[in-house]
Structure 1
Amino acid sequence: MATVVLSPRDLAGCEHRVALDFGHERRRSAEPDPPGVQRRKEAAAEHRAMVRELLRGIHSDQPGAFVTVDADIPALERVDATLAACDAGAQWIWNATLPTDVDHARRGHAELLVRVGEGYVPIIVVNHRVSQRVKGAPLADGRPASMLTSPLWGWAPTPDPYRTPRPNRRDNLRLAHLSAMLLEIGRAASSEPSELRGGVIGVDADCIVVQDTGAMFEDYLEVLDRRRAIASQRIPTEPRRVSECKSCQWWVKCGPELEARRDVSLVASGNQASALTEAGITTVDQLAAQRGDPPENWPGNVRFTDVVIGAIAWLDDLDLVRRLDTPRVHRADVEIDVDMESYGEHGAYLWGTLRTDTTNPDEPAVYRPFVTWDPLPTRDEARSFAEFWTWLTAEREAAHAAGKTFAAYCYSQQAENRWLLGSADRFAGEPGIPSRAEVEAFIASDEWVDIYEAVGENFVCPRGKGLKRVAPVAGFSWRDDDASGEASMEWYRAAVALGGGRPDLSQRERLLEYNEDDVRATKVLREWISERAAEEIPHERDVLARH
């Protein structure tokens, strides 16, 4: 076997993936990425390019301070260029590639190296949030801030009372990996591992979040040693279904293996599967036969009976199992279904609505979208959101004035709430934009109903609670066979010409159709829960009695 050299990606996630990556003839790197993975990579590349230009602009008045290593030259030349920039004392080195450390099985690159004293601190740029604003007033009661940040113009770690961290183990391991590589070649800002630091620039790109890499150095070294042994095939691994399976190209190999041995991870995930395996429950059949108390170390946020029912449902090919004798969901005279479409972290470009007056069965349900086709991020997002909020508020007030009950519905309110509140914050003061307090009051009211939560209250969902999993059980189907959140990202790129060229108007129509189907699916599902689910879905007591 060739010498094992690990990148930061090999340190986190599925251990069996690492074993397959290094031990199988068909190396994963030779296979094309699934579309969703490719889109995320492209979005991350765009974000890194934006941050590069932002930093280049900030330091443009300091000739020679900001050095960019050409990403298109061979790896060894990038290493030479990085070391030459270090020798020249460059303050900021973009796209830094470090020498491969064969002895310790390490390779890696940092988006940025920042000179601190006689050495360098690694900075990585990621396309997710690494901090969040403190709600309310900043800490002012003598308590220490929970994190350090540094401005983009220089390395100046300072306690930050305005933010709280959003820890990410993958980021922390990568920074420890890079710090160890810098330490090995004598380029680190400190020769003491316990004093090592790193930084992360997240999707907001408004500061550098400072990480104490020294504090996790022992943990990192343990992870490195174990992953190195796995990659060298010295520690055996076996497949288990985990969250990353959905985007892993090894699933074509692992999936059939798990099915063949009826592995319990097919119906129980994460800590559930670990607790079951520790208790000797390794197959779906064994789990289906369980009754009574859960095994030791069972996660307290999951009802054990639900997982047993999930195993039975897997054996009997059931999509849903009813919890209640009579399913219930909040209904109203005027019902408005809402579905939001966003593009990554850049904003919400579409608020789709479907209005139904249940007191007048002859009145058709009307779909109405509020949309901007200016590429995100754009100030025109404020206009479309304001129009949506103004219309929704008017419908609510009109229903109340007519003596009718009102409810607005979404599917999994976490996404909608995030952009409702975020839009109120970002566009505060612009025409038609509600205050944060108005949005919070609406979200907290009984008139904002999450059908996702209603599904969970009424049913055990062995195949998942996603709308596209559950709505077909109620008889709904999407017009587009490729409809999905991942696919909509590609459609949006074409619709607004993010990749260049001319906007594809057909993809705009496709997005509107997809959004309309989503709100209609929520309506169909809600009505089905009220009217037919009790007759069509077996109750859990009957399912448990089968095995």
Structure 2
Amino acid sequence: MKERVLLDAGVVTRCRRRVHLEHDPAMRDQPLAPVDLGIEQRIADAAEHRQAVAKWLSRVLGADWTEIPRGGAESREELTLAAMRAGTRYISTAQLPTDEIGGRRGVVDLLVRTDDGYVPVLVVRHKITDPGSGARVSPIDRPELAAARTDPTRKVRAQPRDQLRLAHAVRLLQACEMGATEHVGGVIGVEADVVLWHDLEVPNWPGGRTALTEYEVRFADRLAVASAAAAQDEPLALPSRITECKGCPWWPTCEARLREASDVSLVVRGEDAVALRDMGVSTVEQLAAVPLDSAEQLPLTGVRNTDAILLAKAWLRNLPLVRRVRELTVPRADVEVDVDMESYADAGAYLWGCWLSGVDIGEEPGYQAFVSWEPLPSDDEARSFAEFWTWFGSVRRRAYERGLSFRAYCYNELAENRWMLASAERFAGKPGVPSVAEVREFIDSAEWVDLFASVREQFLCPNGKGLKVIAPSAGFGWRDAEASGENSMRWYRDAVGLCGDAPVLSQRDRILRYNEDDVRATWTIRRWMTSEAAHRIPYAADL
């Protein structure tokens, strides 16, 4: 008997090979990698956020609100359908009736009744709008389409996954004949202050597609992949390394296959690997054998053509780094400060860590931490940011007064720039907080150096360019064996008692030690790159 395949909304943004493996009966006993702790924490945070929003809305909406209780999926489907047929205005944690014909199943955080049916609303733990104009929103205490207005102060933040999940819910509602005529859906974000409404039939996707048409194409593809796997037919999706592999429980299975085949995706990922296979270059060895003077013939977009060939050569020799240039350079100064920020998802930046080095200017050298242990979001974040900026400005001023040059360094400026600008905007007018213009002037100056950019421009890195990957080549190691940005978020929850438990003070020490190691790592990389030791790294032209 052919196995029935039912898919939830998550498949449309999931790796095709993962969809295959999840539905292949031969893979049921295959050992999986442990769930990444960071991903596990984000899932838990999202669930906690949904529960908190549901609890608040239940108090505000009162008798118009009903929540489908926990239980088996079939009984929850029946209760949801009964609530819709009864015309209940708001239905929380709805288990929509399975669409046997379409192969769909799914849960929706909130169903809202309109004049002619129901529309879905998601509750997510990420930002859904940015400053701007044009977003269609309704007040959080009136989560309904009739209350929606265009907001002149908000614009929609691109979150394609939200729209695809809403499209899935719309199709499920249509299948049970409970959907509204207007194909729209709402989203309540991490700030839980408004409902953002998406029109799923607006052609605002690449190529003039709508969210619904994009969803239909993706879902049909994933359903075909899953159905072939369930029937143990010829697989429609083969392993290929992509960004998602890093946190996938099936990665050990795929990695073994890819390494056995020396697959070209171990060096170049995504569409570039597909393009290379299409032209007959399917292994790392074949890519490494391409003459450099023929590199322009490679149909690559995610990496320079010559770099792809050199990366393949380096991978085959198990080299973690290869120099692009004979002489490495990094902008240096008399007085230097390494900066690393710690944030908790979109809730805020709670720690600014610095490492002061160079010529003595009367400030204590070494590690300085400007931190708030008030659970985010909190106005105390403004205090710690202001203290960081005041100290930072004092170091710059003292250097100038002594006729000394000054530079500050980070590793991948996107995160630090984002939170410096966001903090200046959010806490404008508070004591010690700089203006947005002042922050922007600094980050646009030659005094702000992104070491990640220096590494990217001067090294080829077969295993990635992350700080934890590059620093060991410079001789640096973290004191904490579990040091990672994802784990630091888990430590932060314990450190501030985010779940209502007593704060764990030892976790605060752990975070500070981790942050100190991060700034010491960038300091070490910079000194190493400007030393003779770095010349022991093989030069690309010599491979």
The AA in structure 2 aligned to 1:255 is: E
Distance 1:52 1:363, change over 3 A: closer
- Cα displacement (A) at 1:364: 8.2
Equivalent residue number for residue 231 of structure 1:
226
User: Which residue does 1:356 correspond to in 2?
Assistant: 357
Summarize the Cα distance change of 1:236–1:491 in structure 2 as closer, same or farther, 3 Å threshold. same
Matches within 5 A, 1:295-306: 295=297, 297-299=299-301, 302-306=303-307
- The answer to whether the Cα contact below 8 Å between 2:354 and 2:519 also exists between their aligned partners in 1 is yes
SS in 1 for 2:104: coil
User: 2:516 matched to 1:513?
Assistant: no
Q: Which residue of the partner structure matches residue 87 of structure 1?
A: 85
2:490 partner amino acid = E
Corresponding residue for 1:56? Answer: 58
Amino acid corresponding to residue 317 of structure 2 in structure 1 = D
Distance 1:204 1:257, change over 3 A: same
**Contact 2:298–2:305 (8 Å) recurs in 1:** no
How far does the alpha carbon of each residue in 1:192-213 deviate from its partner, in whole angstroms, 9 at most, with x for none? Answer: xxx4111222223332222222
SS at match of 1:107: strand
Shift of 1:296: 5.9
Structure 2 residue 33 is the aligned partner of structure 1 residue 34: no
Take 1:501 and 1:51, find their aligned partners in 2: how far apart are those partners? Answer: 20
State TM-score, norm by structure 1. Answer: 0.91
Label 1:216 to 1:381 Cα distance change in 2 as closer, same or farther (>3 A). Answer: closer
Aligned to 1:471: 471
Residues 275 and 295 of structure 1 are in contact (CA less than 8 Å); yes or no, is this contact kept in structure 2? no
Superposition RMSD in Å: 2.2
Runs of 4+ displaced beyond 6 Å: 28-31
Partner of 2:196: 209
From 140, 150, 154, the counterpart of 2:138:
150
Within 5 Å, give how 1:453-464 maps onto structure 2.
Answer: 453-464=453-464
Report what 2:99 is aligned to: 101
Closer, same or farther: CA 161–306 of 1 in aligned 2, 3 Å: farther
Tell me how far 1:534 sits from its aligned partner.
Answer: 4.7
Aligned residues of 1:333 and 1:359 also touching (Cα < 8 A): no
Corresponding residue for residue 336 of structure 1: 337
Give how far 1:173 is off: 2.1
2:155 to 161, 164, 179: 164
TM-score, with length taken from structure 2? 0.91
- Following the alignment from structure 2 to structure 1, what is the Cα–Cα distance between the partners of residues 87 and 40? 36
Per-residue CA deviation, residues 129-166 of structure 1 (Å, 9 max, x unaligned), is 333222xxx5xxxxxx4x53333223234344433333
Q: Mark the CA change 1:365 to 1:260 in structure 2 (over 3 Å): closer, same or farther.
A: farther
- The code of the aligned residue for 2:411 comes to Y
Matches within 5 A, 1:493-532: 493-532=493-532
User: Greater CA deviation, 164-173 or 506-515?
Assistant: 164-173
Match of 2:445 in 1: 445
Partner Cα distance (1:174, 1:264) in 2:
32
Q: CA deviation at 1:388?
A: 0.7
Q: Secondary structure at the match of 1:94?
A: strand
> Percent same amino acid at aligned positions?
46
State the match for 1:189 in structure 2: 180
Give the distance between the partners of 1:430 and 1:188, measured in 2 at CA.
48
CA deviation vs aligned residue, 1:284-304 (integer Å, no higher than 9, x gap): 0011112223346421x6311
Q: CA deviation at 1:218?
A: 3.4
**Counterpart for residue 24 of structure 1:** 25
Asked whether the 8 Å contact 2:406–2:447 carries over to 1, the reply is yes
**8 Å Cα contact 2:363/2:395 also seen in 1:** no
Match of 2:120 in 1: 122
CA contact (8 A) 1:28 1:249 kept: no
Alignment-derived partner of residue 327 in structure 1: 328
Q: Return closer, same or farther for 1:46/1:435 CA change in 2, 3 Å cut-off.
A: same
Residues 1:5 and 2:22 are matched in the alignment: no
Equivalent-residue separation in structure 2 for 1:315 and 1:379 (angstroms): 52
Aligned amino acid, residue 67 of structure 2: T
Read off the aligned partner of 1:319 and give its amino acid letter: P
**1:174: which partner in 2?**
165
Alpha-carbon offset, residue 357 of structure 1: 1.8
124-133 or 14-23, larger mean C-alpha shift: 124-133
- Number of residue pairs the alignment of both structures matches: 523
Equivalent-residue separation in structure 2 for 1:476 and 1:163 (angstroms): 44
Task: Give the aligned residue type for 1:73.
Answer: G
The 5 A counterparts of 1:250-329 are 250-290=250-290, 291=292, 292-295=294-297, 297-299=299-301, 302-329=303-330
Aligned to 2:65: 66
In 1: Cα distance, 2:117 partner to 2:10 partner = 25
Confirm or deny: 8 A CA contact 2:17 2:237 kept in the other structure: yes
- 1:393 and 1:120 map into 2 onto residues whose CA distance is 55
Contact 1:357 1:363 in 2 (8 A): no
Contact 2:119–2:180 (CA<8 Å) still a contact in 1? yes
CA distance in 2, matches of 1:27, 1:201: 36
Code of the residue aligned with 1:162 in structure 2: it is T
